[in-house]
Amino acid sequence: MDKRPNRWARGVVTGAIVCTLTAAQSPLAWALPPAAGVGASASPAPPKADLNAAKKQYADGEKKFKAGDFAGALADFKGANEIKSTPQAERYIGLCEDNLGHYQAALDGYDKFLAHVPDKLASQGDDLRKRSAEIKAMPGKVHIESTPPGASVTIDEKAQATPTPLDVDLPPGTHALKLAAPGHVLSTKSVDVAYASTQTVTAELEPQPAAPSPPVAAVVPAATPAPATPPPPPEPRSKVPAIVTGGLAVAAAGLGTVFGIIALGDKSDFNKNPTSSTADSGDTHALIADMAFGVALTFGVTSAVLFLTKDEPPPTTSSAPSPRTAASNAKPADAKSSVTFAAAPIVGPHVGGAGFSVRF
C-alpha cells in the first residue's frame, strides 16, 4: 500500500481547530455554529461531555498521525468529526485516507475541507487542491489475460513488449485494446480506466474458421502399362573376409606389442651393460615388432575396407538388352559373388612388412 509521506500534513499546527474567538470562548470552540455559507441553519451544540470526548479523540488522532499510524488516526478523526463536524477533522480524514491508498475516500475528505477552508488554513487548502489534481491524474492498473495465453497486445495502436498475461498502467480515460494470436480471430476491446483504479480485462480468442476446400474434379486414370518385373536383389556380400582380416590385425598388433616390450627391455639392458649380443637381440626384437605393427595396420585397413564396401545395385535401363549383351552378362544360375584374399609377409635384413591382394 502506498503510504505517502507526512508532507501532506505540513503546516499543521497543534490545536488548529480554533475559530476567531476570545480567550473566554476558545474552550467552547467545538460548540460554535457552522461558518457562514456552510449551512442554512445552526445545529444545536453537542453536550459538553461529548465535546470533551471529541477534543480528546482529535488530539489522539494528531499524535497517531504524526507517528505514522494512519489507520488509528483515521478512526479518531472520524469519531471526533461525528460528534462535531469541523474542517480540520475533515482535512485530516482526507490525509489519512490518502496515506492508506484510499484515493477516492481521500478526495471526498479533501472536497469537504475545501468547501469551507478556514482563513488560517488557506495554504493547506492550496496544497490539497494540488494533491487532488495529482490523484485525479494517477494511472489505473490494468491486468490483461487471454485464452489462449501468449497473445500479442496493442493499446491505442502501440504494440506492447510482452504477450498476455501482462500488467499495464494506463492514464484515466478510454483506451482501445487489440489482442492477436496465430490461428485466431483478432479481438478488440474498449476499456474505461478510472484514476488510481485496478481492473482485469479478459479476452477469449476464437479460432480462425477453416477455409472451404475447393471442389475436386473427377479424374479418369490413364491406362498404365504393367510394370516390369524387377530383377532379384543381389546377395549380400560375405563379411567373413573382413572378420578374418580384422582378427589377424588384432593378433599382429598384440604380437608387435609383446616384441616392442621385449625390445624396450633389451635397450634397458644395453644401457646397463652394452654388449654386441644385447644390441643384436634388441634390433631383432624391434624389427619383429615393426613388422607385426605393419601387418596389423595392413590387415586393419583391409578389414575396414571390406566392412564398409557395399554392393552397387545393377544398372537399370529403359530398354531391354540385346540378346548378345544379355548372353555376355549372363552367369550360371548357381554362380555367387566371392572375395579372395591373399597376404604374404615381407622380411629383409633391415625391413619388414606384409603384402596382400584382394580379388572381388
The DSSP line for 113-128 is HHTT--GGGHHHHHHH
Q: How far is CA 125 from CA 121, 140, 148, in A?
A: 6, 26, 51
Tell me whether strands 198-204 and 140-147 are parallel, antiparallel or unpaired: parallel
The percentage of residues in the chain with a pLDDT greater than 90, rounded to a whole number, is 38
How far apart CA 318 and CA 217 sit, in angstroms, is 33
Taken in order 311, 313, 315, 319, is the CA torsion positive or negative?
positive
| Cβ proximity of 206 and 186 under 8 Å | no
How far apart CA 244 and CA 342 sit, in angstroms, is 12
Overall average pLDDT of the 47-58 stretch? 84
| Cβ proximity of 89 and 59 under 8 Å | no
Each residue's pLDDT tens digit, 335-351: 445 556 565 656 555 55
Confidence of residue 31 (pLDDT cuts 50, 70, 90): very low
Each residue's pLDDT tens digit, 80-110: 999 999 999 999 999 999 999 999 999 999 9
Task: Match 586393419 to its residue by C-alpha cell.
Answer: 300
For the domain bounded by 140-204, which CATH number is listed?
A: 2.60.40.1120
Instruction: Identify the pLDDT of residue 354.
Output: 58
Residue 204 sits at φ, ψ, to 5 deg, of -105, 115
Architecture of the CATH domain 6-136: Alpha Horseshoe (1.25)
Confidence of residue 210 (pLDDT cuts 50, 70, 90): confident
How far apart CA 327 and CA 309 sit, in angstroms, is 28
The grid cell for 335 is: 554362380
- The residues spanned by each domain of the chain are 6-136, 140-204, 240-310+338-359
Task: Return the minimum-mean-pLDDT range out of 90-104, 132-146, 202-216.
Answer: 202-216
| Cβ proximity of 131 and 113 under 8 Å | no
Burial profile 178-204: b = 16 or more Cβ within 10 angstroms, e = fewer: bbbbeebeebeeebebebbbeeebebe
SS3 at position 254 = helix
Q: Which residues pair with 169 in a beta bridge?
A: 141
The DSSP line for 275-340 is -HHHHHHHHHHHHHHHHHHHHHHHHHHHHHHHHH--PPPPP--SSPPPHHHHHHH---TT-----E
How far apart CA 215 and CA 217 sit, in angstroms, is 6
How far apart CA 114 and CA 91 sit, in angstroms, is 8
How far apart CA 247 and CA 238 sit, in angstroms, is 16
Element (H, E) at 204: strand 198-204
How far apart CA 128 and CA 87 sit, in angstroms, is 13
**Of residues 11 and 245, more confidently modeled:** 245
Overall average pLDDT of the 40-45 stretch? 52
**Of residues 259 and 344, more confidently modeled:** 259
